[in-house]
């Protein structure tokens, strides 16, 4: 064989191997996607003799030992295998015979910037995780859990070699428990889900106009008068912090001041900026006027007392003071505050709030805490030690990432939430394509000040029943943006993997799938839910705060068990239907016609099914007019695609139906998520 021919053969073989590698990697459904990964042809089978051995001084590694126990439990729940050994380093089991070997150099103190890297190897003879810290090893276990797959009548771990580390040090989820209180079990299961997708900061929003949620022994009026009896005891706070620590997750508390102050002032009205006013806990949503008085020394004595007591409950150095959305109406109306501003040469409310924030920064420093707050705290006089939380977007007159860029250029460390407001109920790809690193030129020093980001779950329209379905699985995709390489942006691949990670989220306790089934049973009054379920696959809740516009339609005690609550941001059938329409219209693919017809037939039958259960299900009555409209849309569309044409009269009727809004008195609050796709199909057929 000539050298030239041999070289060509090598290149061809290499190309085939590369293509095979790419094809194999797309069968791996990990999230977040690892930094470096190489698959192999082997699998490791899960059998009854599965065992784990942690190398080193195991007594020092309690965190990884607990994590290994949880891993074994998840593995056996998934596989159904009765393992002989349910704990790592079991007596009588030789290290050499272990299925999984974990090598850890040190147990980390949970703080920002620790080494979270790991390597993972899976072959048919065994598995190994190597990490500098136990936190890195736990990330390896999270990855390994997602590598479980069914194979030949059993379950196996996919053969692989991974070298992995996070792109950003701050990868968070904020949970608002003030608007709607979230019990301990809800918080814990969401922390478990965070660990699965390698998030490492739980930002706990503990006070707002609608409630103060922490037991205080020095200021008991706060939780007695402003919590409706729904609060966390100090023992429960410590338990959550320890629970998160065991999973490598930091807990950052937020007590929002000086605005969003209704709950504070319900208990201590004398600290308010409007004297003689009787304050009460808010039941509606929105931005309200009650604000702490920054010119009153008693305000700082109060906050010093509060922070002195609550700061030690949280082990993390950062303490979030909120600082957002203070319009200062009561400051304008108070002559004493206006006089104070003149005497102290404070030209506007922003400078007055900066005065307030600087006082708080000094109070927190006494208790070993570093201040962070929403982007409104950033002013020329704010100490550079403050961490700026960027959140405002186009709706607030800001360009995406504008405050984040301003912060890093002014010397502040910062994290990004603009683009990750999951309560907006946008599609997952809207969040997935937002990156904490802006597309502008930054120096290396400026770029390092961008620590990462947080998904934010504000709770005006969620309860413990629905919160999981609003956070997950979309936040898993956001977690990937914080962890994985910037170029990991393939939308189709993301959706493909998100479906699998959703199943693993349920394995670790998240109730995003379970809660929908309950809601549908409740709406149907425990009758047949088939029609309702069909309707949820093409219906999505109103987005960008258009549900409950003005904040008064729903109160904190209103029912959140309606059809809109059973729907999710990424309705199940929308993406597959869109692909069929695109294939039919853009590629003239007639083979998808029958698939489109099946969708239309199914949607056309929904209203009749709902009418059969309506007599014994009052809540279904609200849904039927919408289902009838969907049915008529389906009938027109089915006829059009069957005839390969649509008349002008039918086209105009279809447009009218697609543009029709639901009766606001019905409170259905959903939109037909396939509207644009049906219109695209109809306009194509109208041209024929």
* Residue 597 within a domain: yes
Taking residue 11's Cβ as centre, other Cβ atoms within 10 Å add up to: 10
Give the per-residue pLDDT at 392: 85
CB 468 within 8 A of CB 173: no
Give the per-residue pLDDT at 514: 97
**Which of the four pLDDT bands, split at 50, 70 and 90, describes residue 23?**
very low
Q: 678: Cβ–Cβ under 8 A, 6 or more apart, which residues?
A: 581, 633, 637, 654, 658
Give 53-109 pLDDT, tens digit per residue: 999 876 677 999 999 999 999 999 999 999 999 999 988 888 899 999 999 999 999
Give the per-residue pLDDT at 399: 62
Give the per-residue pLDDT at 394: 43
* Residue 509 within a domain: no
Q: How many helices (H) and strands (E) does the chain have?
A: 26, 18
| Cα atoms found within 13 Å of the Cα of residue 597, Cβ hemisphere only | 11
**Which of the four pLDDT bands, split at 50, 70 and 90, describes residue 343?**
very high
Q: What is the CATH number of the domain that holds 121?
A: 3.30.379.10
* Residue 328 within a domain: yes
Task: Assess whether 480 and 527 both reside in one domain.
Answer: no
Task: Assess whether 261 and 179 both reside in one domain.
Answer: yes
- The single residue of 161, 236, 309, 325 carrying the catalytic annotation is 325
Task: Assess whether 193 and 306 both reside in one domain.
Answer: yes
Q: Which two tokens stand for residue 562?
A: 């309606």
Task: Assess whether 246 and 193 both reside in one domain.
Answer: yes
Instruction: Round to whole Å and give the CA distance between 582 and 379.
Output: 49
Task: Assess whether 474 and 553 both reside in one domain.
Answer: no
Q: Which two tokens stand for residue 380?
A: 């020329």
Partnered with residue 175 across adjacent β-strands are: 204, 457
Of the three residues 130, 164, 198, the one that is the final residue of a domain is 164
> Is pLDDT above 70 for 408?
yes
Instruction: Round to whole Å and give the CA distance between 679 and 364.
Output: 57
* Residue 510 within a domain: no
* Residue 501 within a domain: no
Give the per-residue pLDDT at 13: 41
Give the per-residue pLDDT at 677: 98
**DSSP structural state of residue 646:** -
Task: Assess whether 533 and 665 both reside in one domain.
Answer: yes
* Residue 600 within a domain: yes
Task: Assess whether 288 and 392 both reside in one domain.
Answer: yes
> Is pLDDT above 90 for 666?
no
Give the per-residue pLDDT at 400: 59
Task: Assess whether 185 and 88 both reside in one domain.
Answer: no
Partnered with residue 541 across adjacent β-strands are: 670
> Is pLDDT above 80 for 523?
yes
Give 200-212 pLDDT, tens digit per residue: 999 999 999 999 9
> Helix, strand, coil % (nearest 5) of the chain?
45, 15, 35
Task: Assess whether 8 and 84 both reside in one domain.
Answer: no
**Owning domain of residue 15:** 1-30
Give the per-residue pLDDT at 581: 98
Q: Which two tokens stand for residue 143?
A: 């990855």
> Is pLDDT above 80 for 279?
yes
Domain count, the chain: 4
Give the per-residue pLDDT at 597: 97
Instruction: Look up the pTM and report it.
Output: 0.94
Arithmetic mean of pLDDT over the chain: 94
Bridging pattern class, strands 52-55 and 100-106: parallel
Task: Assess whether 271 and 326 both reside in one domain.
Answer: yes
Q: What is the mean pLDDT of residues 429-434?
A: 96
Instruction: Round to whole Å and give the CA distance between 386 and 169.
Output: 17
CA nearest to 417, candidates 194, 175, 212, 114: 175
Of the three residues 474, 490, 506, the one that is the final residue of a domain is 490
Of the three residues 129, 164, 199, the one that is the final residue of a domain is 164
CB 326 within 8 A of CB 353: yes
Q: 303: Cβ–Cβ under 8 A, 6 or more apart, which residues?
A: 257, 360, 363
Catalytic site residue 282? no
Picking from 13-22, 349-358, 667-676, which range would have the lowest pLDDT averaged per residue? 13-22
Task: Assess whether 178 and 40 both reside in one domain.
Answer: no
Q: What is the mean pLDDT of residues 175-189?
A: 98
Task: Assess whether 38 and 24 both reside in one domain.
Answer: no
Instruction: Round to whole Å and give the CA distance between 581 and 66.
Output: 49
DSSP run (H or E) holding 620: helix 618-643
> Is pLDDT above 50 for 636?
yes
């Amino acid at each position: 064989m000539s050298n030239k021919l041999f070289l060509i053969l090598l290149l061809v073989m290499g190309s085939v191997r590369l293509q095979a590698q790419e094809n194999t990697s797309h069968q791996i459904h990990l999230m977040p996607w690892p930094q470096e990964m190489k698959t192999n042809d082997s699998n490791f089978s899960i059998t009854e003799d599965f065992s784990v051995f942690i190398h080193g001084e195991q007594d020092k590694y309690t965190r990884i030992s607990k994590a290994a126990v949880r891993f074994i439990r998840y593995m056996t729940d998934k596989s159904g295998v009765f393992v002989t050994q349910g704990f790592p380093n079991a007596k009588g089991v030789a290290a050499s015979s272990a299925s999984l070997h974990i090598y850890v150099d040190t147990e980390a103190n949970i703080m920002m910037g620790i080494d979270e890297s790991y390597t993972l190897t899976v072959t048919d003879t065994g598995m190994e995780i190597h990490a500098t810290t136990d936190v890195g090893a736990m990330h390896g276990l999270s990855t390994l859990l997602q590598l479980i797959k069914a194979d030949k009548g059993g379950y196996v771990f996919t053969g692989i070699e991974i070298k992995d580390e996070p792109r950003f040090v701050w990868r968070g989820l904020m949970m608002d428990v003030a608007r709607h209180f979230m019990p301990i079990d809800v918080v814990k299961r969401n922390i478990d889900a965070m660990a699965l997708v390698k998030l490492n900061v739980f930002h706990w929003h503990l006070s707002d106009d609608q409630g103060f949620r922490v037991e205080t022994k020095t200021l008991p009026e706060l939780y007695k008068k402003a919590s409706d009896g729904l609060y966390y005891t100090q023992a429960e706070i410590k338990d959550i912090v320890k629970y998160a620590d065991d999973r490598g997750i930091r807990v950052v508390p937020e007590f929002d001041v000086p605005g969003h102050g209704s709950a504070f002032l319900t208990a201590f009205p004398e600290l308010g900026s409007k004297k003689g006013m009787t304050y009460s806990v808010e039941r509606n949503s929105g931005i309200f006027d009650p604000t702490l008085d920054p010119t009153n020394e008693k305000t700082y004595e109060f906050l010093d007392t509060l922070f002195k007591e609550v700061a030690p409950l949280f082990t993390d150095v950062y303490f979030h003071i909120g600082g957002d959305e203070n319009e200062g109406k009561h400051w304008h109306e108070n002559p004493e505050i206006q006089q104070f501003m003149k005497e102290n040469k404070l030209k506007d409310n922003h400078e007055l709030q900066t005065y307030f924030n600087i006082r708080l920064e000094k109070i927190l420093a006494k208790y070993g805490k570093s201040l962070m707050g929403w982007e409104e705290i950033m002013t020329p006089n704010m100490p550079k030690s403050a961490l700026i939380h960027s959140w405002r977007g186009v709706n607030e007159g800001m360009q995406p990432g504008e405050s984040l860029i301003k912060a890093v250029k002014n010397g502040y460390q910062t994290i990004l939430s603009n683009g990750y407001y999951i309560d907006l109920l946008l599609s997952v790809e809207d969040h997935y394509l937002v990156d904490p690193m802006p597309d502008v030129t930054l120096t290396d020093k400026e770029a390092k000040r961008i620590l990462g980001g947080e998904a934010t779950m504000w709770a005006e329209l969620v309860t413990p029943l629905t919160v999981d379905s609003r956070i997950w699985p979309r936040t898993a995709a956001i977690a990937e943006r914080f962890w994985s390489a910037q170029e990991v942006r393939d939308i189709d691949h993301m959706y493909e993997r998100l479906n699998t990670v959703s199943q693993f989220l349920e394995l670790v306790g998240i109730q995003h799938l379970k809660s929908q089934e309950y809601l549908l049973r409740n709406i149907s009054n425990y009758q047949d839910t088939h029609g309702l379920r069909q309707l949820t696959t093409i219906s999505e809740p109103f987005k960008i705060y258009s549900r409950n516009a003005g904040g008064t339609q729903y109160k904190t005690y209103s029912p959140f068990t309606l059809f809109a609550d059973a729907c999710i941001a990424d309705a199940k059938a929308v993406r597959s239907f869109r692909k069929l329409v695109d294939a039919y219209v853009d590629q003239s693919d007639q083979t998808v016609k029958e698939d489109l017809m099946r969708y239309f037939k199914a949607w056309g039958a929904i209203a009749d099914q709902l009418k059969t259960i309506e007599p014994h299900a009052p809540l279904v009555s609200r849904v039927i007019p919408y289902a009838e409209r969907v049915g008529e849309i389906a009938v027109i569309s089915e006829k059009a695609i069957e005839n390969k044409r649509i008349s002008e009269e039918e086209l105009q009727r279809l447009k009218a139906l697609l543009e029709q809004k639901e009766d606001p008195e019905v409170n259905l609050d959903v939109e037909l998520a396939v509207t644009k796709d049906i219109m695209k199909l109809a306009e194509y057929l109208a041209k024929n």
